[in-house]
């Protein structure tokens, strides 16, 4: 027997161990140890399969399971000693198992770390998507709470950051709600894409041993809605593929973009210039120099984190671009960006929920802003359209009326009727009724519009969906 190197899993053909520097450089256990629960679940399913096809005995399987359970207990208790010399989570666990159970030497039968790590990560993605889905749901519930507490508040809606048209605050908040709901659905789709079992693909070309891939897939929950096992269909693709990593990072990055837009609206709304809202003290900080300052830090960080989430996506795309099939060690670098995206997206969802929960609205400031009659200039054009004027002509006429009001320095709805009629003869004596805000909102009856009946429907919809 040759002298055993410390790398029991692959040291057979080596006469010298890796350099200290190489160990430092190549270890991943410092970050992939968080895969331990998935790695252990994978090993239990794999050994159960090996026993079911007769490659190991049931006694060996039971010993392996008992050993893995004990190791898992140690890990959760924080008592497991991780060794960077053993490279990664897979070898740390296998080595610890080998020290306890002689049967452990058979665990890696018909398996490679390549299909093992692909399996661990797919299990991780299913878990992570579930967690993020729940957290986004929490943020959506906080958002619904804020909308409900301010049901009747109207604000100007903006385009180009210029006042455009009046909307219920709830309508604006429900725009955010739609974004968050798409994010939640997207994580569901990523989880569905992750739901294919790689085990049995081996290092690249499967195995000569008579394994049962469907058994392992079932044991690990890689099943369709009817409980049928789902196994990947090409061993080379399986160990090379990192699409789900990229899809997950994409979902996180897009969620980050959405959150950054909500954060930006909140930052604007909380400024003295708007003062539509007051952000919670618990999510703001002060200035070390200016005593009066209350800074919207949670929102600024939510805006900033989106850059990081996009960076992680970019790392993964760059990592896989041009990489020859199949597995290359480069792919070990796939995990830090994924874990960072998960951790940061989870934090963002929680911080968004907390910030929304503590936000209060200043109805008077909102009312003052939305009272600007210019917000209903489009309604005035629609008024002319109903009198038979072509929209382009109506638009032009109302533009002239707006200019007139500006020139005379009066509010749009305070111009004398005769002057307005001089601009266009189709303006009737009732033209100012257009500026009744309540009436104007009530006219927005179509699906997706900000009229009170439609917004009421959306309240009912979200209450039902977010129960
Ligand atoms: N730590 C490795 C990774 O994360 C596991 C796979 C190693 N495979 C190998 N052929 N060296 O990618």
> Pairing mode, if any, of strands 360-361 and 277-278?
antiparallel
The yes-or-no verdict on residue 1 having pLDDT over 50 is no
Q: Where does the pLDDT of residue 464 fall: very low under 50, low under 70, confident under 90, or very high at 90 and above? A: very high
**Is there a catalytic annotation at residue 160?**
yes
The yes-or-no verdict on residue 4 having pLDDT over 60 is no
Q: Is 119 in the pocket of ligand 1 (CB under 6 A)?
A: no
Catalytic residue among 160, 341, 414, 429: 160
For range 289-305, the mean pLDDT: 94
173-201 pLDDT per residue, tens: 999 999 999 999 999 999 999 999 999 99
The closest residue, in CA terms, to atom 12 on ligand 1 is 332
Q: Is 245 in the pocket of ligand 1 (CB under 6 A)?
A: no
Measured in Å, residue 55 CA sits from the centre of ligand 1 at 25
Q: Is 332 in the pocket of ligand 1 (CB under 6 A)?
A: yes
Q: Is 38 in the pocket of ligand 1 (CB under 6 A)?
A: no
Q: Write the DSSP assignment of 390-440 as a string of letters.
A: -HHHHHHHHHHHHHHHHHHT--GGGS-HHHHHHH-TT--TTGGGGG-HHHH
What per-residue confidence (pLDDT) applies to 288? 86
Q: Where does the pLDDT of residue 51 fall: very low under 50, low under 70, confident under 90, or very high at 90 and above? A: very high
The closest residue, in CA terms, to atom 11 on ligand 1 is 329
Q: Measure the CA–CA gap between 348 and 305, rounded to whole angstroms.
A: 8
Q: Write the DSSP assignment of 183-238 as a string of letters.
A: HHHHHHHHHHHH-SB-TT-TTTT--SS---HHHHHHHTT-B-TTS-B-B-S-HHHH
Measured in Å, residue 117 CA sits from the centre of ligand 1 at 7
What per-residue confidence (pLDDT) applies to 17? 82
Q: Measure the CA–CA gap between 119 and 206, rounded to whole angstroms.
A: 14
Q: Measure the CA–CA gap between 142 and 140, rounded to whole angstroms.
A: 5
77-95 pLDDT per residue, tens: 999 999 999 999 999 999 9
Measured in Å, residue 42 CA sits from the centre of ligand 1 at 15
Q: Is 331 in the pocket of ligand 1 (CB under 6 A)?
A: yes
Q: Where does the pLDDT of residue 327 fall: very low under 50, low under 70, confident under 90, or very high at 90 and above? A: very high
By percentage, how much of the chain surpasses pLDDT 90? Answer: 94
241-261 pLDDT per residue, tens: 999 999 999 999 999 999 999
Q: Write the DSSP assignment of 117-150 as a string of letters.
A: HHHHHHHHHHHHHHHHHHHHHHHHHHHHHHHHHT
Measured in Å, residue 327 CA sits from the centre of ligand 1 at 8
What per-residue confidence (pLDDT) applies to 10? 77
| 89 CA: nearest ligand 1 atom | 1
By percentage, how much of the chain surpasses pLDDT 70? Answer: 98
What per-residue confidence (pLDDT) applies to 3? 45
Measured in Å, residue 100 CA sits from the centre of ligand 1 at 24
What per-residue confidence (pLDDT) applies to 6? 61
What per-residue confidence (pLDDT) applies to 287? 84
Q: Measure the CA–CA gap between 412 and 398, rounded to whole angstroms.
A: 10
335-367 pLDDT per residue, tens: 999 999 999 999 999 999 999 999 999 999 999
Residue of higher predicted confidence among 217 and 12: 217
Q: Is 113 in the pocket of ligand 1 (CB under 6 A)?
A: yes
Catalytic residue among 30, 152, 271, 287: 287
Average pLDDT, the chain: 96
The yes-or-no verdict on residue 5 having pLDDT over 60 is no
| 32 CA: nearest ligand 1 atom | 4
Global pTM value = 0.95
Collapsed DSSP state (helix, strand, coil) of residue 155: strand
394-427 pLDDT per residue, tens: 999 999 999 999 999 999 999 999 999 999 999 9
Using alpha carbons, select from 166, 142, 165, 169 the residue that is nearest to residue 153. 169
């Amino acid at each position: 027997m040759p002298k055993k190197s410390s790398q029991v899993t692959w040291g057979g053909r080596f006469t010298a161990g890796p350099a200290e520097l190489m160990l430092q450089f190549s270890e991943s256990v410092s970050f992939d140890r968080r895969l331990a629960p998935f790695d252990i679940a994978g090993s239990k399913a794999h050994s159960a399969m090996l026993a079911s096809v007769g490659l190991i005995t049931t006694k060996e399987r039971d010993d392996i399971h008992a050993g893995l359970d004990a190791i898992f207990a140690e890990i959760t208790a924080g008592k497991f000693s991780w060794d960077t010399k053993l490279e990664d989570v897979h070898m740390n666990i296998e080595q610890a198992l080998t020290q306890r159970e002689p049967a452990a030497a058979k665990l890696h039968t018909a398996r490679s770390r390549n299909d093992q790590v692909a399996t661990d990560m797919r299990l991780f993605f299913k878990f992570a998507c579930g967690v993020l889905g729940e957290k986004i749901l929490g943020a959506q519930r906080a958002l619904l709470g804020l909308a409900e507490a301010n049901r009747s508040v109207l604000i100007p809606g903006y385009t180009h950051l210029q006042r455009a048209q009046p909307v219920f605050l709830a309508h604006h908040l429900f725009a955010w709600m739609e974004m968050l709901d798409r994010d939640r659905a997207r994580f569901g789709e990523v989880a569905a894409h992750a739901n294919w079992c790689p085990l049995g693909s081996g290092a690249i070309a499967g195995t000569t041993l008579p394994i049962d891939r469907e058994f392992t897939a079932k044991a690990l929950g890689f099943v369709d809605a009817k409980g049928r096992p789902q196994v990947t269909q090409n061993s080379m693709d399986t160990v090379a593929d990192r699409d789900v990593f990229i899809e997950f990072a994409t979902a996180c990055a897009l969620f980050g973009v959405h959150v950054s837009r909500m954060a930006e609206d909140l930052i604007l709304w909380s400024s003295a210039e708007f003062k539509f809202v007051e952000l919670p003290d618990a999510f703001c900080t002060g200035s070390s120099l200016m005593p009066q300052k209350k800074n919207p830090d949670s929102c600024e960080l939510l805006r900033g984190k989106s850059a990081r989430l996009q960076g992680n996506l970019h790392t993964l795309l760059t990592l896989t671009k041009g990489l020859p099939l199949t597995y290359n060690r480069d792919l070990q670098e796939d995990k830090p960006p994924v874990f960072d995206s998960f951790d940061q997206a989870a934090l963002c969802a929680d911080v968004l929920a907390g910030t929304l929960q503590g936000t209060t609205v200043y109805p008077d400031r909102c009312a003052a802003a939305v009272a600007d009659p210019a917000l209903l200039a489009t309604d005035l054009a629609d008024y002319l359209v109903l009198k038979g004027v072509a929209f382009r002509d109506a638009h032009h006429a109302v533009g002239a009326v707006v200019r007139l009001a500006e020139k005379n320095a009066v509010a749009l709805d305070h111009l004398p009727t005769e002057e307005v009629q001089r601009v266009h003869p189709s303006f009737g004596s009732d033209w100012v009724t257009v500026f009744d805000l309540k009436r104007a909102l009530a006219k927005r009856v179509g699906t997706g519009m900000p009229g009170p009946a439609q917004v009421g429907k959306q309240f009912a919809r979200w209450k039902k969906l977010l129960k």
